[in-house]
Structure 1
């Protein structure tokens, strides 16, 4: 089981590092599928572990750290794209209705007597 988890982690790392996947949706779908499979496998891993399994586990932990950092980068990239889309949408709305955001709470003081 630990070897299967290691193999899935290595495959997930490969998918995350792959810049050749053209569609983001395809890449996210593949990542989600691998994470779900990893969750199923990790639920089946039970101690005690042999020395070989412990060694594979250590290598898997190192791979998992790389996966975590790449997932954080992917998340930041998606958040950045969402912010850009929101800015464009906001700019488009201001262009279509430029007087929508005017403040009406001002006062006028007449200094004449």
Structure 2
């Protein structure tokens, strides 16, 4: 008999893998909230998954290892995408500010600029 916590762990992992396949930028906030809640759920389940394991639970756990690797890879890719988007937004912010005030970054080296024409 496999413990309910192991079965719930697998279901949460499979949900996470499916959720992380969503690449829609408009739904990113919803996806992040779902990912966070499922990760918290998995963290809570982890406390109840302790040795000793039966042979059936051990083989079930061996089946979970490839799912964990897939999940870790997808989480890394999703995090990388978020970081890239944040960096792009910061670059846009800097370029917009430079466009709005082009003389802000001009270094004054003590030379005289005649303003009269």
**CA distance in 2 between partners of 1:49 and 1:43 (Å):** 14
State whether structure 2 residue 75 is matched by structure 1 residue 77. no
- Which runs of structure 2 are paired with 1:91-110 in the superposition (5 Å)? 91-105=95-109
Q: Deviations over 1:27-60 (max 9, x none)?
A: 1100111000000001111110011111111111
Change (3 A) 1:28 1:82: same
- Secondary structure class of the residue paired with 2:47: helix
State whether structure 2 residue 15 is matched by structure 1 residue 17. no
Map of 2:33 onto structure 1: 29
Map of 2:58 onto structure 1: 54
* Shift in Å, 1:18: 3.5
Gaps of 5+ in 1: 108-113
- Which runs of structure 2 are paired with 1:38-49 in the superposition (5 Å)? 38-49=42-53
Gaps of 5+ in 2: 112-117
What is the TM-score when the length of structure 1 is the normalising length?
0.86
The equivalent position to 1:63 in structure 2, one of 64, 67, 92, is 67
**CA distance in 2 between partners of 1:21 and 1:77 (Å):** 10
What is the TM-score when the length of structure 2 is the normalising length?
0.83
Map of 1:111 onto structure 2: none
